[in-house]
Amino acid sequence: MIDICRAAKEAAAELRVLRTEVKDTALNAMADALETHRERLIEANAVDVEKARAAGVSATLVDRLTLTDSRIAGMVRAIRVITGLPDPVGLGVGRQERPNGLVIEQVREPLGVVAVIYEARPNVTADVAALCLKSGNAAVLRGSSIAYHSNAAIIEVLQEALAGVEGVPDNAVQLIHDVSREAALELLRAKGYIDLLVPRGGPELIRTVEENATVPTVIDGDGNCHTYVDATADREMATAIVVNAKTSRPSVCNAMETLLVHRDLAEEWLPGALDELKGLGVEVRGCERVRAVWPAAVPAEEKDWGTEYLDLILAVKVVDDLDEAITHIGRWGTMNADGIVARDIAVAQRFTRAVSTGSVFVNTSTRYSDGGEFGYGVEIGVSTQKLHSRGPMGLESLTSVKNVVWGNGQVRVL
Amino acid sequence: MIDICRAAKEAAAELRVLRTEVKDTALNAMADALETHRERLIEANAVDVEKARAAGVSATLVDRLTLTDSRIAGMVRAIRVITGLPDPVGLGVGRQERPNGLVIEQVREPLGVVAVIYEARPNVTADVAALCLKSGNAAVLRGSSIAYHSNAAIIEVLQEALAGVEGVPDNAVQLIHDVSREAALELLRAKGYIDLLVPRGGPELIRTVEENATVPTVIDGDGNCHTYVDATADREMATAIVVNAKTSRPSVCNAMETLLVHRDLAEEWLPGALDELKGLGVEVRGCERVRAVWPAAVPAEEKDWGTEYLDLILAVKVVDDLDEAITHIGRWGTMNADGIVARDIAVAQRFTRAVSTGSVFVNTSTRYSDGGEFGYGVEIGVSTQKLHSRGPMGLESLTSVKNVVWGNGQVRVL
């Protein structure tokens, strides 16, 4: 493990000074190679899929694992988008001239070595490789054992492509072939080698990382997402947004888990909206005030407010006002994505300011919390922490801002 | 401890939506109160100073601990500077309109609850209180037991001042009166309450934090600072900068600890510079090539390259070229502050890009790595990590950037 990390650190020293044109050439070569070797990838993937089926893995997981022509096309498309994005390295985010003539620039630079631990979806392998290369970082990838052959084939194809591009260091992108837990723990403790580790996975992975990591991490955590429908909301819009946020893809982290409704809408709007959700197969768990206007609701218990169902289940609560909604989200939310539906500007502005969430949505669905939808091509993860980066993480999240101070001989008296 | 943290979290919810004019009024009241109660502060401080002297504490530490009229004036001045700085909360750092009409704003918001663990200097108490208030954060302060009476008096004065300003919550600024190690450990583990903890202290404190903290931290770590003098350097400027970086205040984290010199300057420039440093009391520890041109140097051992002396001692190494300097800094540096003296633009630019240091100085002294010198008034700490913030941390480092997405009914199809 340390050999892989050391090789990555050496590669990172070269990658951080690589010109954008070289990186873009490399990205194009990566995309071309994935297209060319589509069959090779699908063959390797078939081994994983067969083993997974034989092992009785769930149909959902097998589906996520499976590579098809269209999914490979999606990986290629993501790399092309990333190629077209501006290089964040060297970008200035601030500049000032001090009274003594010093010029202080704040400039983005690569982090160095970025490691990602992820689950069954093989496309993450290509996504992370591309994001890291464009942002001048060396990538260390640790995929799931279930996707081992797929990931190995993707990395092989990408490494072959990179070997043909002058200036790109060997080991710019590496896969950890040892998929044991011990190897993962070693990676978590490779302090001094890893500049950022992003765990993409379930609560168990997150807990392991939080308990064991000595390397800097950004947590891609739970999404207990809320939508608050204010008294001033456009009713039709509110229904459409709530239905979309709950039902368009209930298994993902940006799906709504709790609906908060202003009491003025409890009788007028809520029953109709819940009827529609029920018609789409949603089980509703409501507070007493919800059950008073829509008796079909299952009684909500306290634990419902803290649960990320990732399923067609919705907790619903009637609140007295905006402040109660804000307090509820502050108590139960996971800082991933929360939204409001409201016509009143003051209400919306107060919500966006008072809710301490990474991505706050006004009059639209929390389902838009996504690197692609944010224009980042893909994401390296969705941060649910406050430091460094919040929400979908694209190229900028893979850089840090250094100070570059230009003088002409100034020395400090005190 | 949890009571203090809970109270801070409640205060933070109010502080995050506080208008700038209220915060500035409160800051002015704080500065006025410190001026008014100067004698009360000096009396309380006298108790600490006497106890410290009786306990045989070093003269340097007693000096740091001592409050004088001019030091109180310095605290007041810092608060006035912070009052005059723009409020970072609500500041936009990005905005885009997506093809589907969504507007994505990236907006600074307060972190929430900021905790600082610090050593003997009582001025930190006022500095941190002011920075946190201006940036809309609740402050939890844990000072050294040696400065207990001073800190308690400062906090009392500040809390009295804040109580007179309408809109400022009680508990906006709190001091932890229990200065035991157990209480500090509890603070480190107050996950869910503390949004940022900054430890300001020696290696032992940093190690304790790294080993025990479950709350998010930004490390204010060692400063093993380098200055590289390139072959193209202005010789006179190089001498002045090197002398300043080493001798103007050797005990601080932005003082130079290692001098790297291009071999072309080994015979021509180095001996004269070392003579001058020696004349100012500096002990030189040199590599073989240094000793060849300046035999008075003590032979440097490998551990010298990794030592932060904080004293009038300097490690000196002759390098073949810029790349060797960059590699040396990458291996031994602590990412705090490193500098180059060079006339050649390409050399300077390559150095600023290739060196992975929080603050890089060109043709000036590393001693400028300082919140005051950067225009931040004071600093909450000097970050030596890559994530979230780098170098001197001012108001912006006490905020995080959230995404606010404005729609008009958009829902996501896939």
Q: B3-24 pLDDT, tens per residue?
A: 999 999 999 999 999 999 999 9
> Quick one: average pLDDT of A91-114?
97
Give the C-alpha separation, B290 to B267, whole Å: 9
pLDDT at residue A202, as a whole number: 87
Number of C-beta neighbours around residue A80 at 10 A: 15
- The answer to whether the Cβ–Cβ distance between B402 and A359 falls below 8 Å is yes
**Which candidate from B241, B403, B407 shows the least CB-CB separation from A359?**
B403
> Quick one: average pLDDT of B289-314?
97
pLDDT at residue B302, as a whole number: 97
CA distance B182 to chain A (A): 20
> Quick one: average pLDDT of A219-235?
96
Give the C-alpha separation, B79 to B219, whole Å: 24
Task: Report the relative pairing of strands A283-286 and A313-319 from DSSP bridges.
Answer: parallel
pTM of the full structure: 0.95
**Which candidate from A352, A386, A406 shows the least CB-CB separation from B400?**
A386
Residue that the structure tokens 């990931």 belong to: A151
- The answer to whether the Cβ–Cβ distance between A218 and B390 falls below 8 Å is no
Cβ-proximal residues to A184 (8 Å cutoff; 6+ apart), any chain:
A117, A142, A208
> Quick one: average pLDDT of A22-27?
98
Considering only CB atoms, which chain A residues are within 8 Å of B412? 244, 248, 365, 367-368, 373
Find the Cα–Cα–Cα–Cα dihedral A141, A145, A148, A150, rounded to 10°.
Answer: -90
Using CA atoms, how far residue A230 sits from A202, A291, A323, B330, B408, in Å, is: 32, 19, 11, 54, 15
Residue range B363-406, pLDDT digits in tens: 999 999 999 999 999 999 999 999 999 999 999 999 999 999 99
The single-letter code of the amino acid at B306 is: G
Beta strands in A120-172, from DSSP E residues, in sequence order? 138-142
* Residue among B410, B413, B414 with most chain A CBs within 10 A, to mutate: B410
> Quick one: average pLDDT of B83-106?
97
Residue range B124-136, pLDDT digits in tens: 999 999 999 999 9
Using CA atoms, how far residue B25 sits from B17, B83, B412, in Å, is: 15, 9, 45
Average pLDDT, chain A: 96
pLDDT > 80? residue B242: yes
* Residue among A364, A365, A370, A401 with most chain B CBs within 10 A, to mutate: A364
- Token pair, residue A315, equals 């907790």
Which residue in chain A has the smallest CA separation from B249? A414
Q: Cα–Cα–Cα angle for B19, B20, B25, nearest 5°?
A: 105
- Token pair, residue B117, equals 């663990």
Give the C-alpha separation, A228 to A262, whole Å: 8
- The answer to whether the Cβ–Cβ distance between B387 and A407 falls below 8 Å is no
pLDDT at residue A120, as a whole number: 86
pLDDT at residue B76, as a whole number: 97
Residue that the structure tokens 């946020």 belong to: A245
Considering only CB atoms, which chain A residues are within 8 Å of B358? 402-403
Closest to A216 measured CA to CA, from A376, A359, A400, A17:
A400
pLDDT at residue A181, as a whole number: 92
Considering only CB atoms, which chain A residues are within 8 Å of B350? 17
Residues B394, B406: contact at Cβ < 8 Å? no
Share of chain A above pLDDT 70, in %: 100
Residues A377, A80: contact at Cβ < 8 Å? no
Residue range A175-191, pLDDT digits in tens: 999 999 999 999 999 99
Give the C-alpha separation, B267 to B392, whole Å: 36
**Band of pLDDT at residue A28, cut at 50, 70 and 90:** very high
What is the Cα Rg of chain B in Å?
24
Give the C-alpha separation, A172 to A152, whole Å: 15
- All structural domains of chain A, each given as residue ranges with its CATH number in brackets, are 2-221+384-405 (3.40.605.10), 225-368 (3.40.309.10)
- Token pair, residue A13, equals 């020293």
Average pLDDT, chain B: 96
CA distance B163 to chain A (A): 23
- HSE toward the beta carbon, residue A260, CA cutoff 13 A: 27
Number of C-beta neighbours around residue A171 at 10 A: 22
Give the C-alpha separation, B99 to B132, whole Å: 38
pLDDT at residue A60, as a whole number: 85
Which residue in chain B has the smallest CA separation from A330? B13
- Is the predicted ipTM greater than 0.90, yes or no? yes
> Quick one: average pLDDT of B25-44?
98
Give the C-alpha separation, A381 to A218, whole Å: 9
Give the C-alpha separation, A159 to A253, whole Å: 32
pLDDT at residue A117, as a whole number: 96
Interface A-B, measured as beta-carbon pairs within 8 A, has a size of: 205
Considering only CB atoms, which chain A residues are within 8 Å of B16? 353-354, 356
Considering only CB atoms, which chain B residues are within 8 Å of A234? 409
Residues A126, A140: contact at Cβ < 8 Å? no
Beta bridge partners of B312: none
Which residue in chain A has the smallest CA separation from B110? A356
pLDDT > 80? residue B414: no
- The answer to whether the Cβ–Cβ distance between A388 and B387 falls below 8 Å is yes
Using CA atoms, how far residue A164 sits from A29, A87, B369, in Å, is: 8, 21, 42
Would you mind telling me the total number of residues written for chain B in this entry?
Answer: 414
Residue range A204-224, pLDDT digits in tens: 999 999 989 999 999 999 999
Considering only CB atoms, which chain B residues are within 8 Å of A390? 400-403
- H or E element, residue A260: strand A256-262
pLDDT at residue B14, as a whole number: 96
pLDDT at residue B120, as a whole number: 86
If you ran DSSP here, which 8-state letter would residue B118 be given?
Answer: -
**Band of pLDDT at residue A50, cut at 50, 70 and 90:** very high
Which residue in chain A has the smallest CA separation from B393? A403
Helix B148-163 / helix B20-36 crossing angle, nearest 10 deg? 130
- Token pair, residue B201, equals 């202290």
- Kindly list the strands in the beta sheet with B173-175, ordered across the sheet, starting from the edge strand earlier in the chain: B173-175, B138-142, B113-117, B196-199
* Residue among B364, B390, B399 with most chain A CBs within 10 A, to mutate: B364
